[in-house]
Amino acid sequence: MKFLLERSRYLTLIGIISLLIASLAAFAWGAIKTVTTTLLVIQSVGKDTAITIELIELIDIFLIATAILIFSASLYELFIAKLDLPEWMLAHNLYELKTKLSSMIVLVMAVKYLQKLIEIKDGIELLQRGIAVAVVSGALIAFGYFSKKD
């Protein structure tokens, strides 16, 4: 039984490889969107109002791709073997991994809210979205702060 349980950690390779593929796809998606956004800027000579939204979407895509990559690398280090990567990129336990996820969710929500700030003209809807983002962000930040392990 001990042998079986020790080797079962390699099951995480399914998730690690899947996340790595998802990260690669997201980076490719971001690269393609970068080309189309650059073409939009050139064709409109920077006057198209959609440029700002397109650039914000680019940031969002690359944030998500990076978060997925960090998760893949962290899971590998947690379950398989040590990696030679920058310390900030790795989580050394599941708590740190959840904290990194919550931080990334806050960033992505902030970027999405900024996008909606430009798109939405109704002040009440914008206020409601802002309150929702603030409440969820506050909860995620509180989770990271109050559940710290010493």
pLDDT tens digits for 118-130? Answer: 777 888 888 888 8
Whether 30 contacts 65, CB under 8 Å: yes
d(CA 15, CA 20): 8
Whether 111 contacts 62, CB under 8 Å: no
Total number of domains in the chain: 1
pLDDT tens digits for 31-53? Answer: 999 999 999 889 888 777 778 88
pLDDT tier, 93 (very low <50, low <70, confident <90, very high otherwise): confident
Range of the domain at 127: 2-146
